[in-house]
Chains A and B, each alone.
Chain A
Amino acid sequence: MLPGTPCVEGSQGADRTSWRVDAFGLAVESDFALPGLDESREAGPLPNLLVRRVSSEQVDGSWPAASALRLSEENFGGGEADRTVDYEPSAGYRLFAREFGLAHVDPSGERVLCVPHDSSPWRWQRFLVGRVLPLASTLQGYEPLHASAVVVDDRAIAIVGPSGSGKTSIALHLALRGAALVTDDVLALERHGESVLAHPGSGVASTRDTEDELVRAAREQGVGRILGWAGKLHVAVGRPDRAVPLAGIYFVRDGNATAEVTPLPAPDPRIVLASMLIREVRTPERLGRQLDVCALMARAVPMFTLDRGRGGPLRAAEALERHTVELAR
């Protein structure tokens, strides 16, 4: 386990009042440095998102709690809820995660008021890039897929799987082998005619700190920067500066003893739909768009299963890399 020394990225000049980072298909302008989100600009115009740091009193003071609907609630240890998502049509969404943060996203997804928790900035960062920004991205017309993704031959390869399935580790191993990391955990997709575009995410991968081999290799090869630790190891990896076509989707599973890739010529639509994130937005427009994107992916993007095997994420990454070479031919 590495020493826990969280650090905050981004310049903090005394006169600085705004930061700009393009992530999840949005041009994010904030009045404070967002941890783990290095400034970047994606080629081409993007819809705007304003992020403002405020106090919890400012968020809850204007939130219409009496008329809001509780969309989801998670309780991990009794007592009050640890994570909640509330919705009110005129106000938008209120997201709360104990010891992570609080955020209010307006109905259009163009403005976010956030209250970082006072603990490690990496807890707050995970809340921001794992929940808040993907919600705003969804409200602005994108479809987030629960996936990590890398770029191979100018095309995105998505690695889909539930938390703990190893998709981040596999993606990082591919990054060690020269691929750029598009995103970790949340991949913002956009329909572009009869193809699907994948937008860069945060550029920070969060993996369990038991991946000593991965960490050592990252340090030896100078790939990525170890940013800190807060339950998971956070590594900043270079990401592409523009959206790229989605060329393949690999569903990670435990199956065979050896790591291998198997084609999925007729993917179950339920599996594709279940891989999409942000279930809180259930307007007819959004649900229709989500089904459209899933159907388009099923017919236009080759899908495969990736058996992890027993050799760990490195062997799975090697199997995937071999397959992407064949896919490119």
Chain B
Amino acid sequence: MPDHVIVRGFADESIALNLKTGQYHGLNQSAHAMLETLQRHGTSEHALDELSERFAAPRATLRRDLECLRADLCERGLLEPDVARDPLR
């Protein structure tokens, strides 16, 4: 996650703040869990293993959701595209 983004947890959601733009973004619990996983493992098979265990969902669904979230976060400037940590590409 870039240095200009901070994420803080609240009860039911997290708030990501882009310090460059001053914009706030809300992440529900699922998105926050996926974001943490993205930070640790990128979109690797390890990430899917972890999410599959947590959410008990099909890997294909998780893979799609994780990629969508990643793209959304990148578009919002909250995550930097990192091809090197994306072995699925």
- Cβ of A257 < 8 Å from any Cβ of B? no
- Cβ of B26 < 8 Å from any Cβ of A? yes
Q: How far is the CA of A272 from the CA of B13 in the complex (A)?
A: 13
Chain B 1-60 residues near chain A, CB threshold 8 A: 4, 6, 8-13, 15, 17, 19-20, 22, 24, 26
- Are the CB atoms of A292 and B11 closer together than 8 Å? no
Residues in B whose Cβ lies below 8 Å from that of A267: 10-11
- Are the CB atoms of B15 and A287 closer together than 8 Å? no
- Are the CB atoms of A298 and B11 closer together than 8 Å? yes
- Are the CB atoms of B15 and A291 closer together than 8 Å? yes
Per-position binary interface string of chain A over residues 285-329, scored 1 when its CB falls under 8 Å from any chain B CB and 0 otherwise:
001100110110011000000000000000000000000000000
CB-contact partner of B11 in A265, A270, A288, A291, under 8 A: A265
- Are the CB atoms of A284 and B15 closer together than 8 Å? no
- Are the CB atoms of B8 and A292 closer together than 8 Å? yes
- Are the CB atoms of A273 and B24 closer together than 8 Å? yes
Per-position binary interface string of chain A over residues 248-273, scored 1 when its CB falls under 8 Å from any chain B CB and 0 otherwise:
00000000000000000111011011
With A269-B13, A269-B15, A291-B17 in contact, is A284–B8 under 8 Å at CB?
Answer: no
Interface size on B, residues (CB 8 A): 15
CB distance from A268 to the nearest CB of B (A): 8
Q: How far is the CA of A21 from the CA of B65 in the complex (A)?
A: 56
Residues in B whose Cβ lies below 8 Å from that of A294: 8
Q: How far is the CA of A214 from the CA of B6 in the complex (A)?
A: 46
- Are the CB atoms of B6 and A291 closer together than 8 Å? yes
- Cβ of A192 < 8 Å from any Cβ of B? no
Residues in A whose Cβ lies below 8 Å from that of B20: 284
Residues in A whose Cβ lies below 8 Å from that of B22: 282, 287
- Are the CB atoms of B11 and A295 closer together than 8 Å? no
Chain A 161-181 residues near chain B, CB threshold 8 A: none
Residues in B whose Cβ lies below 8 Å from that of A287: 17, 19, 22
Task: Enumerate the 7 nearest inter-chain pairs by beta-carbon distance, A residue then B residue, closest first.
Answer: A266-B11, A295-B8, A284-B19, A269-B10, A266-B12, A298-B10, A269-B15
Q: Report B's interface with A, CB cutoff 8 A.
A: 4, 6, 8-13, 15, 17, 19-20, 22, 24, 26
Q: Report A's interface with B, CB cutoff 8 A.
A: 265-267, 269-270, 272-273, 282, 284, 287-288, 291-292, 294-295, 298-299
A-B pairs with beta carbons under 8 Å apart, 28 shown: A265-B11, A266-B12, A267-B10, A269-B10, A269-B13, A269-B26, A270-B26, A272-B10, A273-B15, A273-B24, A282-B22, A284-B4, A284-B19, A284-B20, A287-B17, A287-B19, A287-B22, A288-B17, A291-B6, A291-B8, A291-B24, A292-B8, A295-B8, A295-B9, A295-B15, A298-B10, A298-B11, A299-B11
